[in-house]
C-alpha cells in the first residue's frame, strides 16, 4: 500500500464521457529531481491527461493547473486529519484556502480525505467520518456540493475472507467506522475509493495465484477461479478483489455505491528476491488493465459498469526507501521520458505514452562524441536514412554539431523502421523522448510526414550488442535526451484467491 507522505496522485482520464471508466496515474514526489508544477502540467497536457488527483492541495500545483480544464482531486493529508475531524471551523478554513480560493479557474471535482486511514492511522479512524462530514458541510455552505465529491481511499486489506468474493466482508472491528462512512457515501452520491494491488497478492500467495491470473492474461476455462456460491467465473485477481468489495458492502446492506480504484499497477524492476518485477510484466499488466477499464468491461458481479482506475504511479521515485521495486513503479522518468511504452494499439486511448505516435529518437545526453559520429555515419550510410536535410544550406544543418545531426538521423531511422523495439539504440548512444526535437525550420521525421514503412533490405540499427561500422559522414550533431522505449505499467493490490 502506498503512503500519503510527500506525494501526489494524478488521475488520467482517457475518456470524454463521465459514464465511461477512466485511467488515473498516481504521482509520488520522492524524486531527486522532481519536476516543478509547470513541468508536470506540461507533461499532463502533452499526454492529453484530463483528470488529476493530488495527495495534498499544493498551491503551486493548483495554480499551474488553472485554466487547463483538467479535472482535479485534492486531498486532506493524513497529518491534517485529526484537526479537521475535530473542528468544523478548521474544515471550513481548509476548504476555503485549498478549494474555494482556486475555483473556478482550477477545475476541482473531488476531495480525498486522508489515505488508507483505517489501516495506517488507526488513531484517526474515530474522526474520519466527522472530517468527511465537516468538509461536506463546507462545500454545501459554498454551493459546491453538487460538483465536488468527498471520499477516502482504503487499502483492500480491510476486506477479509475475500475469495470467493461472495463471502467477503469488511474487518468487523472496523464496522463502527465503515457503516457511517458508507452511509455518508450513499447519501452524498459519492464513491468508495479502493487501492488494489494484484502484484502483492501474487507475491504473497507462495505460488497459489498463477502469474497469468495476476496479469490479466487469458486463462483456459479450467484455470478460471469459480465462486462456488454465485458460480461467477474470475479470470483475474483485479476483478475478484473489486467484487469482494462489492459483496462486503452488500453484507452491510449497501448495494448502490460505486467503486473507484485509486491505486493499482506493477513494478518494472526489482531485486533478486523480486523476479517478477520486470518491464515485460509491468507492461502486460498495465496494458491489459487499461483495456479492461476503458472497454467498460466491469466485473463478473457488475458487468459493463465503469470502473475507473488510477495507475500507480507517474514517476519512478529514486528516493523512496525500501526494495528496488519500491523505486520502480513509474511510467515516466523525472525528465518526462516514458520508462516504457504501453502496448495499447487499437485501444482508443489518448494517452500519448501508450503508443509510439508521439515519440522521437535522439542522441543520448552525455554520449561519447566518437560513438555518436560512428552511429551517424551508419544511419546515413548502411541505415539508408535521407540525410540531405543535414547538408550545409538545408533546414537541419544548424546547429552544426554531432549531437544535433545525430538526433535528426536517429529519428529518421527510428520512424523509417516503424518505431519498433531496438531501432533507437545505436550502440547505446540513442534514446527515445516524448519531446519534439524539431527546431526553427528543421522539422524532425517524427514530427510530421512520418515515414512508417520498413523497406526490404534496410539494415537494423546497431544495438548495444553489435558493432557500428559505416562510411565517413559529413553529418554532425549535438543534443539529446536519454530514454529507452519500454512499456507503461500500472499496479494493483488484490487479495489471494485460491
Report the SS3 class of residue 254: coil
SS (HEC) of 331-353: CECCCCCECCCCCCCCCCCCCHH
Q: How far apart are alpha carbons 351 and 338 in whole angstroms? A: 12
Q: How far apart are alpha carbons 278 and 203 in whole angstroms? A: 13
Lookup: cell for 367 = 554520449
SS (HEC) of 42-75: HHHHHCCCCEEECCCCCHHHHHHCCCCCCEEEEE
Other beta carbons within 10 Å of 166: 18
Give the ranges where 111-267 is alpha helix by DSSP (H).
Answer: 117-120, 125-141, 175-188, 198-204, 211-214, 237-251
Q: How far apart are alpha carbons 418 and 431 in whole angstroms? A: 15
- Residue in 263, 317, 326, 478 annotated catalytic: 263
Q: Are 285 and 214 in contact (CB under 8 A)?
A: yes
Catalytic residue list contains 18? no
Catalytic residue list contains 274? no
Residues in the chain: 498
Q: How far apart are alpha carbons 259 and 268 in whole angstroms? A: 27
- Residue in 116, 224, 313, 365 annotated catalytic: 116
Lookup: cell for 256 = 448502490
Q: How far apart are alpha carbons 388 and 21 in whole angstroms? A: 47
Q: How far apart are alpha carbons 168 and 189 in whole angstroms? A: 24
Compute the half-sphere exposure of residue 253: CA atoms within 13 Å on the CB side of its CA. Answer: 4
Residues carrying an active site annotation: 116, 263
Amino acid at each position: 500500500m502506498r503512503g500519503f507522505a510527500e506525494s501526489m496522485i494524478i488521475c488520467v482520464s482517457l475518456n470524454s464521457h463521465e459514464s465511461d471508466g477512466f485511467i488515473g496515474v498516481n504521482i509520488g514526489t520522492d524524486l531527486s529531481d522532481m519536476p516543478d508544477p509547470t513541468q508536470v502540467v506540461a507533461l499532463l497536457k502533452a499526454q492529453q491527461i484530463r483528470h488529476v488527483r493530488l495527495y495534498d492541495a499544493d498551491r503551486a500545483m493548483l495554480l499551474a493547473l488553472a485554466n487547463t480544464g483538467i479535472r482535479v482531486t485534492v486531498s486532506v493529508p493524513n497529518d491534517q486529519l485529526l484537526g479537521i475531524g475535530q473542528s468544523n471551523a478548521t474544515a471550513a478554513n481548509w476548504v476555503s484556502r485549498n478549494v474555494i480560493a482556486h475555483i473556478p479557474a482550477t477545475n476541482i471535482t473531488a476531495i480525498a480525505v486522508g489515505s488508507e486511514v483505517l489501516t495506517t492511522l488507526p488513531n484517526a479512524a474515530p474522526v474520519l467520518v466527522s472530517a468527511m462530514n465537516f468538509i461536506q458541510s463546507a462545500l454545501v455552505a459554498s454551493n459546491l456540493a453538487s460538483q465536488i465529491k468527498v471520499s477516502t481511499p482504503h487499502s483492500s486489506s480491510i476486506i477479509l475472507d475475500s475469495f470467493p468474493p461472495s463471502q467477503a466482508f469488511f474487518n468487523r472491528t472496523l464496522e463502527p467506522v465503515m457503516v457511517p462512512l458508507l452511509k455518508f457515501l450513499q447519501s452524498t452520491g459519492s464513491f468508495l475509493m479502493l487501492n488494489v494491488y494484484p502484484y502483492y497478492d501474487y507475491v504473497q500467495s507462495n505460488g497459489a495465484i498463477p502469474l497469468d491470473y495476476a496479469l490479466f492474461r487469458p486463462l483456459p476455462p479450467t484455470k478460471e477461479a469459480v465462486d462456488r456460491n454465485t458460480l461467477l467465473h474470475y479470470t483475474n485477481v483485479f476483478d475478484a478483489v473489486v467484487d469482494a468489495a462489492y459483496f462486503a458492502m452488500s453484507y452491510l446492506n449497501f448495494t448502490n455505491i460505486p467503486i473507484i480504484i485509486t491505486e493499482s499497477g506493477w513494478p518494472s524492476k526489482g531485486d533478486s528476491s523480486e523476479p517478477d518485477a520486470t518491464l515485460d510484466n509491468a507492461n502486460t499488466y498495465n496494458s491489459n488493465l487499461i483495456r479492461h477499464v476503458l472497454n467498460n468491461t466491469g466485473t463478473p458481479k457488475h458487468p459493463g459498469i465503469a470502473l475507473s482506475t488510477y495507475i500507480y504511479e507517474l514517476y519512478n521515485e529514486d528516493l523512496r526507501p525500501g526494495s528496488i521495486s519500491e523505486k520502480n513503479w513509474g511510467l515516466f522518468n523525472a525528465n518526462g521520458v516514458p520508462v516504457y511504452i504501453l502496448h495499447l494499439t487499437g485501444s482508443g486511448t489518448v494517452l500519448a505514452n501508450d503508443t509510439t505516435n508521439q515519440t522521437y529518437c535522439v542522441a543520448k545526453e552525455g554520449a561519447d562524441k566518437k560513438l555518436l559520429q560512428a552511429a551517424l555515419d551508419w544511419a546515413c550510410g548502411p541505415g539508408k536514412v535521407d540525410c540531405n536535410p543535414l547538408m550545409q544550406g538545408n533546414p537541419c544543418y544548424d546547429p552544426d554539431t554531432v549531437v544535433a545531426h545525430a538526433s535528426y538521423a536517429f529519428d529518421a531511422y527510428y520512424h523509417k523502421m516503424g518505431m519498433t523495439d531496438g531501432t533507437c539504440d545505436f550502440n547505446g548512444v540513442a534514446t527515445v523522448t516524448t519531446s519534439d526535437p524539431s527546431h526553427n525550420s528543421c522539422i524532425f521525421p517524427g514530427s510530421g510526414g512520418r515515414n512508417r514503412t520498413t523497406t526490404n533490405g534496410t539494415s537494423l540499427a546497431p544495438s548495444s550488442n553489435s558493432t557500428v561500422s559505416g562510411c565517413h559522414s559529413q553529418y554532425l550533431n549535438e543534443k539529446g535526451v536519454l530514454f529507452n522505449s519500454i512499456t507503461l505499467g500500472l499496479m494493483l493490490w488484490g487479495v489471494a484467491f485460491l
